[in-house]
Amino acid sequence: MTIAIGSDHGGFKLKEEIKKYLLKDNVEIKDFGTNSEESCDYADFAYPVALEVAKNNFDRGILVCGSGVGVTITANRVKGIRAVNAYNEDIAKQSREHGDCNVLCLGGRYLSFNQAKKIIDVWLNTPFSNDERHVRRIKKIDQ
Ligand code: RB5
């Protein structure tokens, strides 16, 4: 699996921990920044990650900002992106089963690394249900 990852300063620390964690698995990661805790604007990192996923250059995207809100709003502006601000494992699971979400957004100031790891594991390993009603609903988003 290939993953594009990015954050602003509020998500930088968690992004770095996530990168190390995922490198243990059979996952190829490209980091789109930011590269420090210096203040920056989340859209500058969330938008490129979302574009890369929408173009199918990566299987999934993971974005982190302070709350998860800014990166979710930004990513969802890109056609073909279904981004979820997943704050627990149940939301992560449902976002895959029902929403076929392709970008996971996390709040670095609200989640511990331990919580984030569990959310990521569920999100990466849960397939889309392919149920007719969910396929229909997702099609309507693009229409
Ligand atoms: C930055 O202070 C903060 O606003 C940002 O990381 C994010 O939480 C926005 O939604």
Per domain, the residue ranges of the chain are 2-142
Integer angstrom CA distances of residue 8 from 40, 75, 111: 6, 13, 15
Identify whether 9 is a catalytic site residue.
no
Distance CA 130, CA 116 (A): 26
Residue owning tokens 């988003």 = 141
Digit-coded pLDDT (tens) for 97-113: 999 999 999 999 999 99
Name the closest-CA residue to atom 6, ligand 1.
66
Indicate yes or no: pTM above 0.95: yes
Name the closest-CA residue to atom 3, ligand 1.
66
Q: How confident is the model at residue 42 (pLDDT cuts 50, 70, 90)?
A: very high
Task: Name beta bridge partners: 47.
Answer: none
Distance CA 62, CA 17 (A): 12
Distance CA 27, CA 79 (A): 25
Distance CA 71, CA 42 (A): 6
Point out the ligand 1 atom lying closest to the alpha carbon of residue 71: 10
Question: Which CATH architecture best describes the domain 2-142?
Answer: 3-Layer(aba) Sandwich (3.40)
At 67, the amino acid letter reads: S
pLDDT reported for residue 26: 83
At 60, the amino acid letter reads: R
For ligand 1, the distance from its centroid to the CA atom of residue 63, given in whole angstroms, is 12
Ligand 1 pocket member 6 (CB < 6 A): no
